[in-house]
Structure 1
């Protein structure tokens, strides 16, 4: 049909030959090329080359409120996979930042149970106060660049890496969130570029079958997009529609998250009773990983995170024992990689609660030769991607993996002293009756500084990344190492501010500043060591810069895992961590005041 022409009008309820967007929405299409009237009016991407699968069993008659809950909690016996999966490339879809925040005409259905009562109380309060003062609220402009949460372009990705999952019927807002994942902070925080990462494998090969996996992807991405709206407001770009869009995104995230928890429960029960297939186990660990990471967006999820971690611990031992009895290899490749990522989240949560770190301790207690020991998981993760993707894994990615091996090993080795520091902090009369323990810990830290001296020097010298992932990995490992020294400085009651501490703090700020200046999104990867440095620095200029970064980071990650009353009066380190929590809260209050009174 020639462009600009319109077919004869039809009296049928909806078009079978119209654009894919109208067919998915079950609306009549006027078949006007290249953009039909409905898509033009609703400001949607008008897709003509996108195949759509036929509806099943009267699904077209399902009510809007039941679409999202119609899938069984446990995976179907025969997982649904399309022979020729429908594909949406990011070049055919508006970028997340360009979607119309005020449009309400694009809703396909209403999420069951999605209401503001599920939203974070603190966020609801903040948004309510902002709404009441929207005519006068103007935030102070930030000196930071504007790229913070915007997703980088991924138009160069092969189509196979942007497959639209078919496990759920998506609203335009859900689709936007799902397509945002490749450029999300979730991907950035774990280092490997999306295209050939394990997260990409889960995104393109598991989410299309298991609804729960897709739901948590959408939930996390929705929270990131919501934070982008709040960050714009913080910078002074206040508009009522931004608040409304932030509310809608949080409601969507909450709804998907709660439904994903039901899917998780059903999947655990199914695998426990049947043993599960490889894909089912991978889906289970994908959900655990994504749900735990979602907890960083919602401070109210901290308690639930520890329950999930205990659930993983309870699942692992009997499952691995059963695999050994049946002569199986244990966890599949994807699950092993994700278990290693989960161990990082567990260590991070250990700084927010004494309940954290137990999974990591379990992995550490495994036999050194076990593939499920902490070291075994690290070494397995280094060769996982080439095995996972097979012959299609590019040679350039193999070079990238080899180049990043040592910095990642450095980062891996920095995790053990973290638990050692926390263990020392819980000893009564800290510093007086465990001088030997402090000495052993300092030897560990010194050994790391000697083994990776070249990396510490390089991180300090280079002016920028030069576009190399190696440097970003190096920054991450180096700042984690220096944060260890800052924490250690709290363990000696006889020397509250050792002479070397100011130099370490200055180096942390120098590396952090050049990283965030080059790519502001790296803040979300480096925020933990910067927050530790903030509490100990005495330079007022450095302190102001660090506080500003923390305010920005907490718009996305309100849960930085600093402890509450559990650490109160537990030695100098406990005092440091409590002060860190107090400073974080003060920074957030300051941010609210700026938004209200700017």
Structure 2
């Protein structure tokens, strides 16, 4: 069946150019509505970079137009998100079901089509980097779909196993070559770029991890696979505890793989993956990627790096908390506890300017339409949330250990970290309310750690509002209300 044309708003191409649906995929009027909605979907917010140069935009314009399974998954996600949003906007959702059930049904149909296409793609023995890219994007979108709209842990586990298989059999063998190529490009002379408008961040050492503008690359380095692999790791730490032990175990397997490589100084390590993923946007977009977007990548890199390192620390805290009982935890010098505590303090020193900027800024609007203040806010909140998480996991174990008090005095106290998470979240919500999807976990743990009932009520309302974007937020909201209302029959993190 010939592809049907669909005009899009603000595409990253020539004004007025139309977008084509993938071959063999016909579009209904509601499908067209869904495609028009994609640029406003919560996925764009979750992945960070603004439209039209968002990774979602790349998956839509560059991949979905050629791969029906990717297009079907984007339609499925958009349809189900529209359905949930409409229900949340209705005062009487029961009477609205008949008129909105089409969007729900269409979402399920598109998901079924994507599954069928994915099975066929996985049967192919030889997979090019472009095929791996399409499969990986599809699997990632399926994980997000099952998390927000599906049956939860059991279905998520299936797709995670698919990602693991793809990772070990097809991605890992190609990553070292992509990493080596990226390191060669880093050593090449860079074009002169006027970054004076970036202020202090232009000289931040983190900017050294950004590669110069590059044309198409062979292999995985020219795809968005490294970035989506990194996003997969973020997806499951530490909130995987909400989805059950199975998902948490699979997450541990993937993260441990990269951390083992990190410890052994062999590729691909987690630092290699992070560096390659942050170099990749200009490469998978190609020559059309504008200088303004490259500068945007540059000025947001410090916040993204703090966000990344905070996630790694959260994973290490989770591992220590899950696999050590109270008497078994060592607090001696050189112990995992001390290493984690030192890393948390190191981050506060290295990113002092960024953290101070978040505390001093009144809102995200001080940067105009640039996203740098958004990134600063949610990366700072993630860092302070990591401090809260550390305290909540181990504060009971430190009772009666006066020898550790002097060591921990240099770390931000629990009450201060909780206050900072809540204060920064309040400022972020006032200017960018949808960005709370980026900070659900720190908001949750700060809300249960505070003794301020006004703030607890505020967190409860905010988490409940996020339910419009997926049932995973509903689960977190209900869990929060159980704990904050005095149901202590459950642990914070189960």
Q: Which of 135, 156, 179 in structure 1 is aligned with 2:36?
A: 179
Q: Matched residues in 2 for 1:348 and 1:424: separation? A: 12
Among candidates 12, 18, 21, match of residue 165 of structure 1: 21
User: Which is worse superposed, 325-334 or 541-550?
Assistant: 325-334
Aligned pairs (5 A) from 1:250-289: 250-270=104-124, 273=125, 275-289=126-140
2:5–2:18 Cα contact (<8 Å) kept: no
Tell me if structure 1 keeps the 8 A contact 2:80–2:107: yes
**Separation (CA, whole Å) in 2 of partners of 1:576 and 1:480:** 27
From the CA coordinates, give the structure whose radius of gyration is larger.
1
Counterpart among 44, 57, 71 of residue 214 in structure 1: 71
C-alpha distance in 2 between matches for 1:239 and 1:493: 45
The match for 2:102 is: 248
Match of 2:396 in 1: 493
Alignment of 1:338-417 (within 5 A): 338-348=228-238, 350-352=240-242, 353=245, 354-355=248-249, 356-366=251-261, 372-417=268-313
* Matched residue, 1:5: none
Distance 2:301 2:415 in 1: 30
Structure 1 pair 576–263 and aligned structure 2 pair: CA distance change class (3 A): farther
> CA separation of 1:428/1:193 partners in 2, compared to 1, >3 Å: closer, same or farther?
closer
Q: CA deviation at 1:181?
A: 0.8
Match of 2:212? none
Structure 1 window deviating more from structure 2 (165-174 vs 179-188): it is: 165-174
1:522-570 CA-partner distances (Å, limit 9, x unpaired): 122222211121111110000000000111112323225989xxxxxxx
Determine whether 1:510 maps to 2:406.
Answer: no
Measured against aligned partners, the alpha-carbon deviations of 1:117-151 in whole angstroms (never above 9, x if no partner) come to: xxxxxxxxxxxxxxxxxxxxxxxxxxxxxxxxxxx
In 2, Cα distance between equivalents of 1:487 and 1:577 = 17
Q: What residue ranges of structure 1 are gaps of 5+ in the alignment? A: 1-54, 57-81, 91-153, 564-574, 582-598
5+ long unaligned stretches in structure 2: 179-217, 400-407, 477-487
Residue aligned with 1:282, SS:
helix
Separation in structure 1 between the aligned mates of residue 253 and residue 164 of structure 2, nearest angstrom? 8
Q: Do 2:233 and 2:254's aligned partners in 1 also have CA atoms closer than 8 Å?
A: yes
Q: 2:351 aligns with which of 428, 434, 452?
A: 452
Contact 2:326–2:397 (CA under 8 A) maintained in structure 1: no
Classify 1:264/1:156 alpha carbon distance in 2 versus 1 (closer, same or farther; 3 Å).
Answer: closer
The CA distance in 1 between the partners of 2:45 and 2:14, in whole Å, is 19
Q: Which of these residues, 457, 469, 475, is aligned with residue 371 of structure 2?
A: 469
Taking structure 1 as reference, are residues 313 and 160 closer, same or farther at Cα in structure 2, changes over 3 Å only? farther
CA distance in 1, matches of 2:21, 2:238: 31
Structure richer in helix, relative to its length: 2
Question: Is the 2:221–2:283 Cα contact (8 Å) retained in structure 1?
Answer: no
1:190 alignment partner in structure 2? 47
Question: Per-residue deviation at 1:177?
Answer: 1.0
Q: Is the 8 A contact 1:89 1:159 kept in 2?
A: no
Encode CA deviations 1:290-336: one digit per residue, 9 max, x unaligned: 11111231251322222222222222223257659999845652222
Where in structure 2 are the equivalents of 1:69-84 lying within 5 Å? none
Counterpart check, 1:531 vs 2:444: yes
* Residues 282 and 332, structure 1, Cα contact 8 Å, conserved in 2: no
The secondary structure found in structure 1 opposite 2:307 is helix
**Among 197, 204, 217, the residue aligned to 2:61:** 204
Change (3 A) 1:394 1:217: same
C-alpha displacement of 1:348: 4.7
> For each residue in 1:63-86, what CA deviation from the matched residue of structure 2 results, as whole angstroms up to 9, or x when unmatched?
xxxxxxxxxxxxxxxxxxx8xx94
Query: CA separation in 1, counterparts of 2:59 and 2:255?
Result: 23
1:362–1:334 distance in 2 versus 1, CA, 3 Å: same
Contact 1:161–1:200 (CA<8 Å) still a contact in 2?
A: no
SS of the aligned residue for 2:64 comes to coil
Question: Residue 192 of structure 2 aligns with which residue?
Answer: none
The normalised TM-score by structure 1 is: 0.64
Q: 1:257-309: per-residue Cα shift (whole Å, max 9, x none)?
A: 22212222221121xx1x22333221111101111111231251322222222
Residue aligning to 2:385: 483
Residues 55-112 of structure 1, C-alpha deviations (whole Å, 9 max, x = no match) = 57xxxxxxxxxxxxxxxxxxxxxxxxx8xx945133xxxxxxxxxxxxxxxxxxxxxx
> Residue 512 of structure 1: CA displacement?
0.7
SS of equivalent residue, structure 1 residue 163: strand
Aligned-partner Cα distance in 1 for 2:83–2:347: 40
Cα 1:326–1:529 shift into 2, 3 Å: closer
- 1:442 corresponds, among 329, 341, 350, to 341
Give the alignment's TM-score, normalised by structure 2.
0.77
Q: Please, which moves more after superposition, 292-301 or 453-462?
A: 292-301
- CA distance in structure 1 between the partners assigned to 2:63 and 2:282 by the alignment: 18
